[in-house]
Amino acid sequence: MKNKKGLQITGAEAVIRCLLEEGVDLVYGYPGGAIMPIYDEIYKFSDQLYHVLTRHEQGATHAAQGYARTSGRVGVAMATSGPGATNLVTGIADAQIDSTPMVCITGQVASHLLGSDAFQETDIIGISTPVTKWNYQITKASEIPEIMAKAFYIARSGRPGPVLIDITKDAQFELFDFNYKKCSGVRSYQPVPPLQMDQVKQAADAINKAKKPMIIWGQGVILGEAENEFKAFVEKSGIPAAWTILGLSALPTNHPLNVGMVGMHGNYGPNLLTNECDVLIAVGMRFDDRVTGNLSTYAKQAKVIHLEIDPAEISKNVFADYPILGNCKQSLKALISSVNKGVFSDWIALFETHKKTEFDKVIKNDIYPTKEGLTMGEAIASINKYTGGDAVIVTDVGQHQMIACRYAEFIQSKSNVTSGGLGTMGFALPAAIGAKMGAEHRQVVAIIGDGGYQMTIQELGTIFQTKVAVKIVVLNNDYLGMVRQWQQLFFDKRYASTEMTNPDFVTIAKGYQIDAQRVTKREELDQAVKTMIESDKPYFLEVCVEKEDNVFPMIPTGASVSDIRLE
Amino acid sequence: MSDITRYTISIYSENNVGLLNRISAIFLKRHIDILSFSTSQSEIQDVFRFVIVVDMTEVSVRKIVQQIEKQVDVIKAFFHTDEETIFQESALYKVKSSSLFEERQIQNIIKESHANIVTVSPVFFVIEKTGFRHETEKLRKDLAPYGLLQFVRSGRISVSKAPMGISEILNNFNNQNKE
Ligand SMILES: Cc1ncc(C[n+]2csc(CCOP(=O)(O)OP(=O)(O)O)c2C)c(N)n1
Ligand SMILES: [Mg+2]
């Protein structure tokens, strides 16, 4: 019945038809007064559109994000007006800073009530403006098709991001002639700047002259679906490549030119050598302060080549000697044909040397501990063992996140889902639900701290209801560990409000009829992980780890990447 | 680093109310004072123009303009120094009518300032002066002793000496979409 001319439908039905036109078959949300007409249509269209009732609107946004990150499609979240809409804000901000394509639909009070402080009226357009790529309030049903089409186009094109569409209740009830046309462009908006071959040529010249070049790649490689081009570029140029936390999994962990993570808790070699390379090739990354440390001492010796889709990122934090604007899939393709085959054995040997140092000082103790207590690192190593590096790893925020990203192994892209730019505790549990629904055939393991777990623990209800087979690992140190680490290092061990008396997590999981187990001893770990991975149902595993372990290496805030500490 | 300079930022945008919020947020978030702000219709139908005046370094203004241009509803944004633009401000001065007749000096002030008398009533009269800041300012100071009942000055309006090429951008878009 699509695009039937002269067929009068309600705005609410139009919203659903727009979603179907955009290929959406799954939405996350929570109903309420101002969005009831749309929910009524969700009921009628339930054979074509699966609605997942999360237990909090924040969960709906994170689930939509997780879905977007593993499927590469636009995630959709819905909420009612007022508190429903404001509960979306954290997830929207997270999606904005991590460039995740998402469309949020909120109900709004009837248009004649706007501005009257009506029941559950909030100015969600005003509130969400700084954290959306675009937003719009619909007050007439006739606007729905065009605005919805534009919303999806903007969310997914160029540098992706969240879009919020607020729809007044009267517009949801209003009848009109529905007619849908997909959006193919917005005249004030250029999603992808055209590739300039002179920029490519100049950058290629710099690369071909380099003696000690280094690549840092970010999520742009994944968002641009440029993994193959990226791998080909790395292999042809022979240049060692390091990743930002959001770039993780775009190149397999065991690739010989993958030299590890940059940034605050990244690897020793790539951080130190950032300040020794002569050409730094940044691919789809934005020089976040957690990556660069002190900018005035960051890569000053290097010529910087920056492949970037967003012109506003060029020279924002680090001056780009050779910017290459465009989609990195195209820019990399162009670069590959202009760069020479390279071999940098001596230079790469330096990475190896630093890796050895880091192994002896840090990694060995993290993964093969000799002390009694369990470490987070050995838990991750055990997960690697049973997933073969083929799982989607969803992480929350804190020590466990850094440890998981440092040690988890990956063999395919779109396998790392984490809250990077915003660092949102509570992200992982709902994001894992979405991640699994976006990649149903894959194993999805959420790795969460005891603190962050309790920020969105109610989403166990969503798992219970939908039976989505996510594996939940809580690395329990009974502390807000990352903050405790800083208190230890920078606040003379004054552990202000970071110790937590935790409930019995296994009992809680069982209350939701989720199979659950607790591990406190090394001997039990592998078997428990194996049982969890082999289960085809949701599974909860609590690993009680050392309370006061720290994450190293570490670049203290404001320090130079050269000042990275191993202890 | 580079020096603080006065820049005029010009923005062409779709006529969208929400954009005002987005643009001011870009400045607010970075603690940048907006010295003057005005919006109007542009030379193209349904395209709006913002003129914003700031004191910034060239490096910072460039970044700000990139952030502005990144907004979906912004067609194009520019920044220019005073030398690169023609700019003016308008001011209105409301004065007691009695002083116009009682103080002969005031007539000379008006004449010398090349201001226009907009309206005269038995109670008050209104003068309008368009020009540079120092000109409207001088007139304000000169009139003050005679009882200035109200004074108001507009934001800067400005046109660039170099072409901005907005029509070309919009035509290109239309052509691409025809293909
Ligand atoms: C919503 C939110 N509140 C506060 C913080 C600050 N914060 C960062 S890490 C952290 C501790 C996390 O503790 P836990 O979840 O137990 O993980 P751990 O570091 O112990 O592995 C806190 C409080 C945050 N990132 N997000
Ligand atoms: Mg903890």
**Using an 8 Å Cβ cutoff, are A456 and A449 in contact?**
no
Considering the candidates A21, A36, A45, A120, report the single residue annotated as catalytic: A120
A120 is catalytic: yes
- Could A311 and B176 be called an inter-chain contact, meaning their C-beta atoms sit closer than 8 Å? no
- Could B22 and A125 be called an inter-chain contact, meaning their C-beta atoms sit closer than 8 Å? no
Q: Which residues line ligand 1 (CB under 6 A)?
A: A 396-400, 423-426, 449-452, 475, 477, 479-483
Q: Please enumerate residues of A whose Cβ is less than 8 A from a Cβ of B.
A: 125-126, 129-130, 133-137, 154, 184-189, 310-312, 314-316
Report strand pairing: B47-56 vs B36-41: antiparallel
Domain that holds residue B64: 5-86
- Please indicate, yes or no, whether the overall pTM of this predicted structure exceeds 0.90: yes
Whether residue B104 is contained in a domain is answered as yes
Same-domain check for residues B110 and B148: yes
- C-alpha–C-alpha distance, residues A39 and A45, integer Å: 10
Token pair, residue A406, equals 């440092």
- Could B73 and A188 be called an inter-chain contact, meaning their C-beta atoms sit closer than 8 Å? yes
Of the partner residues B14, B63, B174, the one whose CB lies closest to the CB of residue A316: B63
Q: Shortest CA distance to A325 belongs to which of A371, A262, A282, A359?
A: A282
Same-domain check for residues B65 and B135: no
pLDDT for the residue B18: 82
**What residues does CATH 3.40.50.1220 cover in chain A?**
197-351
> What end-to-end distance do the CA atoms of chain A give, in Å?
65
Of the three residues B34, B58, B86, the one that is the final residue of a domain is B86
- Chain A residue numbers touching B166 (CB-CB < 8 A): none
- Could B66 and A312 be called an inter-chain contact, meaning their C-beta atoms sit closer than 8 Å? yes
Q: What is the interface size between A and B, counted as CB pairs within 8 Å?
A: 49
Whether residue B165 is contained in a domain is answered as no
Q: Which ligand is nearest to the CA of A485?
A: 1
Task: Please state the rounded mean pLDDT for residues B92-105.
Answer: 88
- C-alpha–C-alpha distance, residues A417 and A408, integer Å: 12
CA distance B79 to chain A (A): 15
Class of domain A7-178: alpha beta
Q: Kindly give the distance from the C-alpha atom of residue A400 to the centroid of ligand 1, in angstroms, as a whole number.
A: 10
| CA A482 to ligand 1: nearest atom | 19
Report strand pairing: A75-79 vs A134-138: unpaired
Same-domain check for residues B21 and B79: yes
For residue A514, give the H/E element and its range: none
3-state helix, strand, coil in chain A (%, to 5): 45, 20, 40
Task: Output the CA–CA distances (angstroms, integers) from residue A63 to A300, A431, A479, B97, in the order listed.
Answer: 40, 4, 26, 70
Token pair, residue B36, equals 């003057």
- C-alpha–C-alpha distance, residues A257 and A345, integer Å: 11
CATH of the domain spanning A197-351? 3.40.50.1220
Closest residue (by CA) to atom 3 of ligand 1? A425
The 8 Å CB, 24+ separation contacts for B108-116 are B109/B139, B109/B142, B109/B143, B113/B138, B113/B139, B113/B142, B115/B139
Place of tokens 């390379």: A277
Whether residue B161 is contained in a domain is answered as no
**Using an 8 Å Cβ cutoff, are A9 and A175 in contact?**
yes
Q: Residue A245: what residue type?
A: I
Task: Output the CA–CA distances (angstroms, integers) from residue A311 to A333, A382, A424, A491, B67, in the order listed.
Answer: 19, 42, 26, 40, 9
**What residues does CATH 3.40.50.970 cover in chain A?**
7-178, 372-544
Whether residue B162 is contained in a domain is answered as no
Token pair, residue A413, equals 């892209």
Mutate one of B72, B171, B177, B178 to test the A interface: name it (highest A CB count within 10 A).
B72
Of the three residues B27, B59, B86, the one that is the final residue of a domain is B86
- Could B177 and A126 be called an inter-chain contact, meaning their C-beta atoms sit closer than 8 Å? no
Same-domain check for residues B67 and B120: no
Same-domain check for residues B75 and B132: no
**Using an 8 Å Cβ cutoff, are A351 and A259 in contact?**
yes
- C-alpha–C-alpha distance, residues B149 and B123, integer Å: 11
Whether residue B168 is contained in a domain is answered as no
3.30.830.10, 3.90.199.10, 3.20.20.370, 3.40.50.970: CATH of A372-544: 3.40.50.970
Whether residue B127 is contained in a domain is answered as yes
Q: Kindly give the distance from the C-alpha atom of residue A548 to the centroid of ligand 2, in angstroms, as a whole number.
A: 10
**Using an 8 Å Cβ cutoff, are A87 and A149 in contact?**
no
Measured in whole angstroms, how far is the alpha carbon of residue A545 from the centre of its chain? 26
Mean pLDDT over each residue of chain B, to the nearest integer: 92
Q: Kindly give the distance from the C-alpha atom of residue A492 to the centroid of ligand 2, in angstroms, as a whole number.
A: 19
The domain total for chain B is: 2
Report strand pairing: A75-79 vs A102-108: parallel
Same-domain check for residues B30 and B69: yes
SS3 annotation, A354-423: HHHHHHHHHHHHHHCCCCCCCCHHHHHHHHHHHHCCCCEEEECCCHHHHHHHHHCCCCCCCCEEECCCCC
Q: Shortest CA distance to A298 belongs to which of A268, A266, A271?
A: A271
Report strand pairing: B5-14 vs A175-177: unpaired
pLDDT for the residue A3: 47
In this prediction, the residues of chain A whose per-residue pLDDT falls under 50 are 1-3
Q: Kindly give the distance from the C-alpha atom of residue A473 to the centroid of ligand 2, in angstroms, as a whole number.
A: 12
Whether residue B173 is contained in a domain is answered as no
- Could B13 and A189 be called an inter-chain contact, meaning their C-beta atoms sit closer than 8 Å? no
**Is residue B128 exposed (0-12), middle (13-18) or buried (19+ Cβ within 10 Å)?**
middle
Q: Residue A171: what residue type?
A: A
Report strand pairing: B85-96 vs B124-131: antiparallel
| pLDDT tens column, B132-166 | 999 999 999 999 998 899 999 999 999 999 999 89
Q: Shortest CA distance to A407 belongs to which of A360, A362, A357, A474?
A: A362
Instruction: State the ipTM, two decimals.
Output: 0.91
- C-alpha–C-alpha distance, residues A422 and A412, integer Å: 25
CATH code: domain of residue B135: 3.30.70.1150
Of the three residues B54, B86, B118, the one that is the final residue of a domain is B86
**3 state SS of A209:** helix
Considering the candidates A22, A57, A174, A227, report the single residue annotated as catalytic: A57
| pLDDT tens column, A54-89 | 999 999 999 999 999 999 999 999 999 999 999 999
How would DSSP label each residue in A48-59? Answer: T-EEEE-SSHHH
The values of phi and psi at residue B63, to 5°, are -65, -40
Whether residue B171 is contained in a domain is answered as no
A169 is catalytic: yes
| pLDDT tens column, A436-483 | 999 999 999 999 999 999 999 999 999 999 999 999 999 999 999 999
Token pair, residue B35, equals 């010295």
- Chain B residue numbers touching A135 (CB-CB < 8 A): 18
H helix intervals, A141-292:
144-156, 169-173, 197-209, 220-223, 227-237, 268-274, 289-292
- Chain B residue numbers touching A133 (CB-CB < 8 A): 72
Of the partner residues B14, B22, B177, the one whose CB lies closest to the CB of residue A184: B177
Same-domain check for residues B16 and B81: yes
CATH code: domain of residue B27: 3.30.70.260
Considering the candidates A102, A482, A532, A554, report the single residue annotated as catalytic: A482
- Could B18 and A184 be called an inter-chain contact, meaning their C-beta atoms sit closer than 8 Å? no
